[in-house]
Each structure stands twice: as structure tokens, then as C-alpha cells.
Structure 1
Amino acid sequence: MSTKQDRILIFGAGVIGSMYAIKLIEAGFDVTLFARSNKYKSLRENGLRYKEKGTVRSIQVNVIDTLENDDIYDFIFVTVRYDRSESALLALKDNQSKNVVTMTSNSMGFSSWLDIVGDRLLPAFPGFGGQIKDGVLHARFLPKFIAATAFGEINGVVTERIENLAKIFKTAKLPYVIKKDMQSYLITHSVSDIAMLSVLQSENNIMDKKTARTRRTARKITVTLKAYLRAIQKAGVSIDPPMLKMVLNFPNLILDLFFMTWLRTNMVRDMMLPDYANHANNEIVLLSNDLMKFLNQNDIKSEIIY
């Protein structure tokens, strides 16, 4: 790490923000976590608690609940859900930090975000997940070839700040990939989330476990995913990761079997817990609505079967 210690603010103390905070603190960076209300109080009193190899550990973190405009950081990571992204960026609008890294989904592009923070915006997407149970972080990591933190300039140029961000991730031993087209990457990811997660709720009610594991539910994911992928292709979106482009050529039966297996995993079981599901549903609804706006703006009519 350079002699100048990078200052990093993580705006959001949920699963993603907490995980980045742990990794960056362990790597020696000057990390501050922004949190509010009970979360702020808990972090001040107990530190950041997480489970590792079956043991609950705690790491001390500098936490704030108010951000001054002249409190300047090298990078601000915005680690909130998509449905809270705009309010988070508005809270950062007058802060003088030069780099605002949005670690969240996006299904229609960056114009509204650029209107708020301008060219400070650096879109990204996290490379892990998990949940917080009883105040303890339970992280969920996937193999590097499946999930790594993705980031890149909107215009695809590898700038100095992209190189600096890559150095931070390398120092923290966090897998990362630099993308040339973050809009396509995020829209593709949103499509997969919408297809896979929207089926778990029906009329604002969480689907029961038995129904979730049926072939009918898996087929609904298959059909919805293919329809959305075709729609965004027509809108000029390059499907990324390319593995999802291959989905269009897979027989429905193969995809049904894949999704039936996925629907039986512990990951999906946790996703169907009321607290997680209700919050996730708010995000999926907005992602879906904004995706339809994006498609309509490009004169694309998607034949989605619900």
C-alpha cells in the first residue's frame, strides 16, 4: 500500500457495506462506516460482528451518522439497495469527495445519478452476498470466476481512479474485474435478479417453500429470464456476463432443472425469510419498473409471461 493511506467511506452498513468494511480494515485502510439509528448505536457499542469459520468475531470500526460536506474521502462506496440509491446520492450531493462508487443494481442507466453527483459517479457491483442475523454478519462468497466486484467508468476508459481502486481491491485481496460497459453489465444483472427473485413473491405474499420448489416455478423463471434477455438485446444491451447469453440457446428443460436445483438451496431458503424477502421485493419492484421504462424508451415491447 502507498505511504498515503486511502480514506474510504462506506455509506450503508448492511451486508455489502459491512463485508467491505471488514476486508478493507483488515488490509490497513482508513475506513469509516456511515450508519443511522439502532445500527449506528450497535456498531459503536459492539463493533462490526461477523461469523467466520463457525465463530462470531468482532472488529472495531469508525462509525458516523452525520457527514459534513468538507469531510473528504478518496472513495465513497454507496452500498445500499437500488430502491435507496437515489436518496443516498442526494445525501452525498454536497460532499466534496471526488469519487462516489455505487455498489448497487441499476436497470435503466445512469442519467438520474449523474444529475445528482455528476462525473464523480463510478458504477460498480459487489461480488458477494449474505445476510445479517441477530446483528451478526453471515457472508456468502461465490467462486471468483462466478462473482467478483465489477467496476468501470461509464465511458469504458481505464482512468487513474480506476487503477487506484483496483490497487485497493488488490491490497485487500478482494476479487475484482474492470468492465468497459458497466451499464450493460448492471442491466443484465438486474434482468437475472428480476427473473429469479420476483417469482418468490405473489401479490406481496412470500411464496411457500413447497410451491417454490415446483417445476412450474422453475419454468416461470426460465421463460421470464429468456424474454427479458431477448428484450435488452433488442435495446442494444450487450449481455454481460456472456454466460447469460448462452442461456438463450439452452433448452427450457435444462434451465428448468437448473432453477429447480437453485430453488432448493439454503440461499433461496434465506431469501424467503420475511425480513429479507420484504426488503428485496421493494428493490425488485423498482428494478422491474425502471427496466420497463428503459425498454419503452428504446421502443421495445417485452413479452413477459407472469
Structure 2
Amino acid sequence: MSGKQQRILIFGAGVIGSAYAIKFMEAGTDVTLFARSGRFRTLQEKGLQYNDKGTVKSLKVKVIDTLENDDVYDFIFVTVRYDQAGSALPALKDNQSKTIVTMTNNSIGFSAWQDIVGNRLLPAFPGAGGQIKKEVLYARFPPKFLVATVFGEVNGVVTERVENLTKLFRTAELPCSIHKDMKAYLITHSVSDIALVGSLHAGHKIIDEKTARTRKTAHQITVTLKTYLKKIQKAGVAINPSVFKFVLLCPNLILDLFFMIWLRTNMVKDMLLPAYANNANKEIVQLNKDLSKFLSQNGVT
């Protein structure tokens, strides 16, 4: 990566896109956000508002709602939910930017995405979370030892663009790691989300906080997670990160206790808020549907 200022587009101005936009802008990167409708107008009029240790601040940000084919960026980050990726990527099909980083879940592999954007695809998974309340971003970047942004080529080769992306993240002081089997990583992570986030819904309705904290809900997570991990193993997917291998060896009682503790965290409390929960459920439904398709294609029912 040369000394010139990197130019990036973040396609999606929700929690993930906004959180990374702030970090990259603070590091001096030339950032443009792609947003639509109300979010586009808010960013234009008020800037990117965010909570900084209890104080609401605002950053002036370049924002667009239309992308021209010759508007070229060093990297385009797609930060939409998995259920939205199929409709977002066609908007980038004819753009001439050479690298499109999909920062989202994936439970079936990359063929469908590559059919749209070709070998420009660089799969990734974000190391950030949070929520937007009344147009203000409340970002959450967990400690590096817990989670980092993960990315890598579909074929596992460490290319020049992967190395350049690593430098971009390090300049912004964002923890990151290169992974050589992103398909396995994302399928394993999808299984985790299906078990964890899916447990917070019953009959497509959000469960209440009291129900979420019960042993029954924790045990549901344990059973679902173990069941799907075994299934993807049978389908030939390497469980990754390797910590999930421990899940298969761990007694149900210990896992139940662990998940009971997790279900009492502020993270889960935020996840039960209607705006978050309804959108998350849409993603989980699509992940589950596609995972079932993937398993079936590999002879696993």
C-alpha cells in the first residue's frame, strides 16, 4: 500500500458501517458512507452522531445515496445484514472498484456473491457491535482478545490486497486477523448466531427478558449449537474458530450455566429491543434457511 490516502466507501450506514466509518475517519482515511432515505438525510443534516463516554458528538461525513460506476474506491465495505446482501451487491456489480469487502454472516458459501461481483469479493466479519438510538450511534468494540475483524481471500491466499487491508485496519488501531478459510469461519459463526440469537425468539416473536434468563432458554442454546456444529462437521466444514470444538466436548450442564450468564448481560438486553430483535430475526431466518440448503446439498439432514 503506497503512502497515498486510502479512499473507501462503506455501503450501509447502520451500526457496523457507522462504527467503522468513525474509526477510519479518525485515522485520516478518506471515507464515504452510502445510505438511503431517512438515514441519508440525517447524515447530511446532522453528521455522524455517536456517543463518546456519555457525550454525544458529531463527525461531518461524506454521504451518497447513488453510486456511479466510475466512482472508484480502494475498498468498498458492504456492512448490511446477510438477508440484505443479495440485494445490495447488484448495486456494486458495474462499479469499477477492485475490492468489495463483505462484512456479514454467510451460511452457505460465496458462489452466489461471486456470480454478482466476481473475484473482487473479499469476505470478512466485523469485530464491532452496538446500536443506534434516536439517530445516535452507541458502538461497542470488544477487547482484542475476545474478537477482531476477520478477513481473507476465498481461496485462502494472502494477497497484496489482504496485506493492504491489514495495514488500513492497523492504521485505524482496529484489531484484525487474516483467515485462510473464511467459508468455514463464517458458517461456524452463522451456526453460533442461529443458536444464540434464534433463542431470543419464539414463534417469530421476541421473548421477554424474564424468559430469556431461564435455564430452559440456555439449554435450548446448548442443544441447538451442538446439533448444528455436528451437522456442519458431517458436511465437511472445519469448525473454526477452534474454541467451538470445545463446545462439543463440554458437558451440557456447564454450557447451560455459561449461557445463563450470557443471557443476563447488557448485550442481550439490547438484543431484546424490538428494533434490533426484529431485524436480527430476519437475518437468522435467512441464515437458517440457507444453512439447511447447504447441509442438504452435502447429504446432511
User: Shorter-chain-normalised TM-score: which range?
Assistant: over 0.9
**Map of 1:11-90 to 2, 5 A cutoff?**
11-90=11-90
1:249 aligns to what?
249
**Map of 1:161-240 to 2, 5 A cutoff?**
161-240=161-240
- One-letter amino acid of the counterpart of residue 82, structure 2: Y
- One-letter amino acid of the counterpart of residue 262, structure 2: W
Partners of 2:95 and 2:41 in 1: CA distance: 23
SS in 1 for 2:28: coil
Partners of 2:128 and 2:139 in 1: CA distance: 7
Deviations 1:37-70 (A, max 9, x none): 1101100111101111111111111000100000
SS in 2 for 1:25: helix
Deviations 1:192-249 (A, max 9, x none): 0000111111111110111111101100100000000011111111111111111100
How many residues get paired? 301
Question: What is the CA distance between 1:168 and its match in structure 2?
Answer: 0.3
Partners of 1:91 and 1:103 in 2: CA distance: 16
Partners of 1:202 and 1:3 in 2: CA distance: 52
Question: What is the CA distance between 1:2 and its match in structure 2?
Answer: 4.1
- One-letter amino acid of the counterpart of residue 108, structure 1: I
2:94 aligns to what?
94
- One-letter amino acid of the counterpart of residue 191, structure 2: V
1:135 aligns to what?
135
Partners of 1:159 and 1:261 in 2: CA distance: 41
1:5 aligns to what?
5
TM-score by length of 1: 0.97
Partners of 1:147 and 1:267 in 2: CA distance: 15
TM-score by length of 2: 0.99
SS in 2 for 1:260: helix
Deviations 1:133-162 (A, max 9, x none): 011100112121221000000010000100
Partners of 1:97 and 1:249 in 2: CA distance: 45
Deviations 1:10-62 (A, max 9, x none): 00000000011000001011110000111011001111011111111111110
Partners of 1:292 and 1:236 in 2: CA distance: 14
- One-letter amino acid of the counterpart of residue 219, structure 2: R
1:267 aligns to what?
267
SS in 2 for 1:66: coil
Deviates more, 1:75-84 or 1:197-206: 197-206
2:151 aligns to what?
151
- One-letter amino acid of the counterpart of residue 123, structure 1: P
Partners of 2:38 and 2:157 in 1: CA distance: 41
Partners of 1:233 and 1:204 in 2: CA distance: 28
SS in 2 for 1:237: coil
Partners of 1:259 and 1:3 in 2: CA distance: 46
Partners of 2:145 and 2:244 in 1: CA distance: 14
SS in 2 for 1:150: strand
Deviations 1:97-126 (A, max 9, x none): 110000000000001000000000000000
1:125 aligns to what?
125
Partners of 2:209 and 2:10 in 1: CA distance: 35
Partners of 1:170 and 1:266 in 2: CA distance: 29
SS in 2 for 1:246: helix
2:279 aligns to what?
279
What RMSD, in angstroms, separates the aligned Cα atoms of the two structures? 0.8
Partners of 1:64 and 1:126 in 2: CA distance: 22
SS in 2 for 1:10: strand
For structure 2, list consecutive stretches of 5 or more residues without a partner in the other structure.
Answer: none
Question: 4+ runs of 1 displaced by more than 6 Å?
Answer: none
Question: What is the CA distance between 1:3 and its match in structure 2?
Answer: 2.9
SS in 1 for 2:197: helix
SS in 2 for 1:67: coil
- One-letter amino acid of the counterpart of residue 176, structure 1: C
Partners of 2:141 and 2:23 in 1: CA distance: 13
Partners of 1:124 and 1:3 in 2: CA distance: 24
Partners of 2:100 and 2:114 in 1: CA distance: 11
For structure 1, list consecutive stretches of 5 or more residues without a partner in the other structure.
Answer: 302-306
Partners of 2:198 and 2:91 in 1: CA distance: 29
Question: What is the CA distance between 1:4 and its match in structure 2?
Answer: 1.3
Partners of 1:171 and 1:141 in 2: CA distance: 16
Question: What is the CA distance between 1:130 and its match in structure 2?
Answer: 0.4
